Structure 1
Amino acid sequence: MAIYDLRPWLSTPGTITSCPPGLEYLHQINQLIVCQHFDPLGALRKFETSKTYEILNNQGQRIYFAEERNNCFLRRLCGFSRPFTMTIYDNVGRDVLALHKALKCSCCWSRCCLQKLLTLDEEMVIGKISKHFSGSVRGILTNGEKLEIQFPFDLDVKIKALMLGATFLIDYMYFELWP
């Protein structure tokens, strides 16, 4: 696990009853920003060993660090359909969440369709996931691309964690430039 000290960490919150350990950070926020670290050497070689991300609050403080683990052969062979495990760590290096994506084959048509997640009654919106494009090659070649997650303050932390996981899945399925 490689944790970059590029941004300040948010201080560790106290224990909150009925909140899974490590998700206490999510209790006190209504927005997350997910920034992928770009490896220029990996892009030139067309071979990245794993993707890494910083997960920030709206003040730019790091809340979590995420790292993808996958099989590099399947990464090249399967592209966005590949299986992977994304582990999310807190500021002391503790595993907070582990997201697992199975190998799924899909045709090009399913990747082009827009998807949405609402409550069953489709009346209550639980959040918004958006991608901010910098609009330049410089933004792509640096850490300029960001995914933003917004949700109500009082939303259950487990649903906030679910939205964080959905953000990684959306990024891999729709926005990944190269596997």
Structure 2
Amino acid sequence: MASQEKVDKDFQTILPGTPHPPDQDENVESSAPCEPPTPETKPPPPTVPPGLEHLSKIQQVIIHQQVELLGVFLGTEKSNKYEIKDRFGQRIYFAKEENVYLNKNFCGPVRPFTIRICNNRGQNVITVIRPLRCISCCFPCYLQELEVQAPPGSTAGFIVQKWDPLLPKFTLQNENKEDVLKIVGPYATFSCLGDVDFEVKTLNENVTIGMISKYWSGFVNDVFTNADNFGIEFPVDLDVKMKAALIGTCFLIDLMYFEQSVDRF
């Protein structure tokens, strides 16, 4: 009887349309739960330093130097102050130079300084530090170098002056001292009737992606005060740390090429 059942079972396995009974291994595989596919890992978005959220969304800022006329005429102006606005004229930051009075009057444009940039709530969000260095191209080994911190205490980038016999040149570096952008100024930084433009370029200097412009403010203002107005243009998707570094570059350019009247007293 048992042999007959075995024959019937074997016979069924060869009939057309008869399902093939799964073996033991197949049952184990079919009972295992299906694992979901592993999603592709994407790099996290770059973090924006606190206080620079608004700066990360814009592509132009205007920097207006504030001057107290009484201090200009008496020669007692102590430190530079700046308002940093968006293209609609809304103030987003306020900057003030921290400096020793004797440094400003005796060292003039080469003086060391610390500029603290605060938001409208008075919180320090960017710090620009300039050590005492040479301003002449005759000393190519000790030219200007700025450190920009955002937030204060955390390096965001550096601005390094490059030696060139004819043109003002600077290199923007990230926090790891890696070159990111270059800035090339004109042969003559003095203009009577127009703006002075410093071009922000790629490292090969073939493409201009932005501009630092010193706006011509008129004969009366240029002669009797040292108040300067600048505009900075950059791609909206540029790393916000490099945007902060460009603001620091603007302060350096102001002192090196345009602050003359008061500092020579």
TM-score (norm 2): 0.57
- CA distance in structure 1 between the aligned counterparts of 2:118 and 2:112, rounded to whole angstroms: 20
* 1:137 equivalent in alignment to 2:220: yes
Unaligned runs of 5+ in 1: 1-15
Q: Deviations over 1:134-166 (max 9, x none)?
A: 222146657973100001111111111110000
Q: Which amino acid aligns with 1:103?
A: L
**Larger RCO (alpha carbons 8 Å, 6+ apart):** 1
Judge which range, 124-133 or 50-59, deviates more: 124-133
Name the stretch that deviates more: 146-155 or 106-115. 106-115
- Aligned pairs, number: 164
Give, in whole Å, the separation in 1 of the partners of 2:121 and 2:104. 29
For 2:168, the equivalent position in structure 1 comes to 115
Percent sequence identity is 45
Cα RMSD, aligned residues only? 2.5
Secondary structure at the aligned position of 1:88 is classed as: strand
The one of 51, 55, 65 aligned to 2:84: 55
Q: Distance in 2 between matches of 1:171 and 1:143?
A: 10
Match of 2:118 in 1: 89
2-structure distance, mates of 1:99, 1:145: 18
**Match of residue 32 from structure 1:** 61
Structure 2: runs of 5+ lacking an equivalent = 1-44, 144-164, 170-182, 184-200
**Which residue number in structure 1 is paired with residue 105 of structure 2?**
76
Q: Could you tell me how far apart the structure 2 residues matched to 1:74 and 1:156 are?
A: 34
Q: Residues 104 and 111 of structure 2 are in contact (CA less than 8 Å); yes or no, is this contact kept in structure 1?
A: yes
Contact 1:64–1:91 (CA under 8 A) maintained in structure 2: yes
Matched residues in 2 for 1:151 and 1:162: separation?
Answer: 11
Structure 2 residue 248 is matched with structure 1 residue 165: yes
Aligned with residue 131 of structure 2, among 102, 105, 110:
102
Letter aligned with residue 72 of structure 1 = Y
Structure having the larger proportion of residues in strand: 2
Q: Secondary structure at the match of 1:174?
A: helix
CA distance in 2, matches of 1:41, 1:53: 17
Conservation of the 8 A alpha-carbon contact between 1:35 and 1:143: no
- Cα distance change of structure 1 residues 59 and 144 upon mapping to structure 2, 3 Å threshold: farther
Structure 1 residue 73: deviation in Å? 0.6
- In the alignment, does 2:229 pair up with 1:146? yes
Amino acid at match of 1:42: G
Between Structure 1 and Structure 2, whose CA radius of gyration is higher? 2
